[in-house]
Chains A and B, each alone.
Chain A
Amino acid sequence: MSLLEDRGTAGVVRTGRWSLRYARRTLLTCAVLALLAACTLVLALGTGSYGLTPAEVLDTLAGGGPPGAGFIVTDLRLPRALVALLVGFGMGLAGAVFQSLTRNPLGSPDVIGFGNGASAGALVAIILFDAGGPQTALGAVCGGLATAAAVYLLAWRRGVHGYRLVLVGIGASAVLGSATSFLYVRADIGRAAQAASWMIGSLNARDWTDVRIAALGLVPLVPLVLVYARRLTLLEMGDDTAAALGVPPERSRLVLLCAGTGLTAMAVAAAGPIPFVAMAAPQLARRVTRAAGPNLLPAAWTGALLVSAADLATQRLTGSALLPVGVVTGVAGGAYLAWLLRGERGAGRI
């Protein structure tokens, strides 16, 4: 027995014991973003040196389509496009979690060292153990979690406050960055080249293994983060308020930090450290939904759209699949910062 109620800007679904409240504008935002991401996917599959109409793309995906299209679409283009979507989704979600925890629009995982930790782990795997895809992913996850643990413990003084986490993260980021450079200098030239192309964040030559890696990371972590979304909203009100309302602040923070780090590490493992997506996606989403709180799902969909669109733009603008998507998002990140500068100045929100 389900019952739909109307409460102004929000709707509520009730079935027996359970109820779910949702903001209508947020739901609509997610739907539109998902639709746009799907359009980007179809475009990415249909454009390139071998062009297909959107209808042909859909046909091919359904198992039909023009002869020869099957291999190009499902074996070459689909993995890359899917990795872009999944990685962007993870990054957007992780960014929303971190920005909410640090209460700062610049407190994203790539700024405060967690991305660097994952990169360092992955480079150790590539350079010291000559690893392939899955091992590199494992290295990234280990590196990310080890960094998160170290930063958390170093920032701990009767609880972890957002700002101390941020500052310790910046320091850790510098230390890890130089450790990576050190590895890089000592590596032989072939592996150094492999590491270099990977360091900027690239979706070139992704295959189904990478899709599986990304999906494996998302499947357990996304539900976990969504379950904790309410607590995140309460944590934003301050630890005392959250504790009074029955949310253990430190434990919730730890779980959310681990989940966010896991998402970041997964994204880094699948595509390298693509800059700025985690930072920009939650802020863009927040402005569209106009809702309070961390806006987790809209941020995740925005991230997916950003990475897909950036990768599509990278491929089409340069006419080759080789320019790393990280370059595009890096430059776009600069523009985003300038915009943030204009909007938030004096508001004291940065």
Chain B
Amino acid sequence: MFVGSHPRAGRKRPPVRTAGLLLGLVLLLAATALSLAVGTQQIPLHQVWSGLFAPTGTENDAIVRDLRLPRTLTGVAVGAALGLGGGLMQTLTRNPLADPGLLGVNAGAAAAVVTAISVLGITSFTGYLWFALAGAALAATAVQALGGGRYATPVRLALAGTAVNAALFGYVNGLQQWDLGTLDEMRYWAVGTLAKRDADLLLTVLPLLVAGATLALALARPLGALALGDDHARALGTRVRRTRVLSVVAITLLCGGATALCGPIGFVGLMIPHAARAFCGPDPRWLLPYCALYAPVLLLGSDVLGRIVAAPSEIEVGTVTAFLGGLLFIHLVRRRKATRL
């Protein structure tokens, strides 16, 4: 019995599940259009269109092309990465409370980046990108060990992740206080945001994210076998150890890359797999594509919401996702025996 599965989950016939994927694609396009149109300056959709495909150099064209397009594309890439990362984590650990933000992975990447910038004086994005990956991997390992290693339970892991997050964010905040010169650049690492990111950075990270996503989707089948338990999986010809190691590599690439780009964004990887599982069932071959499509919808939607609610300024997207995700988290804990796995 896969925890987190809906009573009727997985009963949906393949055509219905495919329709769900198509719906996700439509919603993603709608969220992209919204993200390009909404902001301090509202731009009508036909102007967004002409700004993208037939620019005439007006102010609105500049806003769409130079500010909102990179931001939106970043949102799509990072959203997909976090959704896949969360789906992988929940499937791999069979822990319905797993999320890269909650379990310290994003905070680890952020702390490593801040160290690289502030202590080692590395300012090039390619330079600190590797630190982000190393930090993500280290934090994930530390949380797993703190949570009890092989005897980890969801509650212990959640606690361990929260504690590691507290330590790492304390460190990040401390360095920012210490190093006021970089405060404005670094404020960004305490809470995730899609603002102020240009296309070059996205292109730098994109290969990593694509590699992570490809790996994740390739692992869908063996992960599904792992859900039956190690012995069954072996009997079906799955290489258990290799699958686990490669999953951790994929999680590191996805979450480390996403955090290097946007700072730590939590709860996207928690919310989306749950919503998806209720519709398409626990099979990773369906679940992971759903995560990859619907997570960017949530991230872009949260980003737009943050622009609307706090206009004329904006709320960072990480704050919005934490608010929504926290509420969902409480609901999950109340609803089911999330701790009995």
Residues of A within 8 A of B (CB): 104, 106-107, 110-112, 154-155, 157, 163-164, 166-168, 170-175, 177-179, 181-182, 185-186, 200, 275-276, 279, 323-324, 326-331, 333-334, 337-338, 340-341, 345-346, 348, 350
Contact = CB atoms under 8 A, between A and B. Distances in A.
Contact of A178 (B158, B171, B313, B323): B323
B320 interface: yes
B149 A350 contact: no
Interface in B245-260: none
Contacts of B148: 345-346, 348, 350
Contacts of B327: 171, 175
B334 A168 contact: yes
A163 B158 CA distance: 10
Contacts, number: 156
B162 interface: yes
Interface centre among A112, A154, A166, A324 (most CB of B within 10 A): A166
B123 interface: no
Contacts of A346: 148-149, 151
Given A166-B159, A334-B171, A346-B151, 19 more contacts: A106-B163, A110-B166, A111-B166, A163-B155, A163-B339, A167-B333, A174-B325, A175-B327, A177-B322, A177-B326, A181-B319, A200-B170, A276-B166, A326-B174, A327-B173, A327-B177, A329-B170, A331-B167, A333-B166
A326 B159 contact: no
Interface in B110-156: 142, 145-149, 151, 155-156
A154 B177 contact: no
B159 A171 contact: no
Given A185-B310, A275-B170, A106 B322 contact: no
A39 to B, nearest CB: 27
Contact of A186 (B155, B162, B167, B313): B313
Interface centre among B160, B310, B333 (most CB of A within 10 A): B333
Nearest to A167: B333
30 contacts: A106-B160, A107-B159, A111-B159, A170-B102, A170-B159, A170-B329, A173-B162, A174-B266, A175-B326, A177-B319, A177-B326, A178-B319, A178-B323, A185-B313, A275-B170, A279-B163, A324-B177, A326-B170, A327-B174, A329-B170, A330-B169, A331-B171, A334-B171, A337-B142, A337-B163, A345-B148, A345-B149, A346-B149, A346-B151, A350-B156
Given A177-B322, A327-B177, A341 B146 contact: yes
B310 A350 contact: no
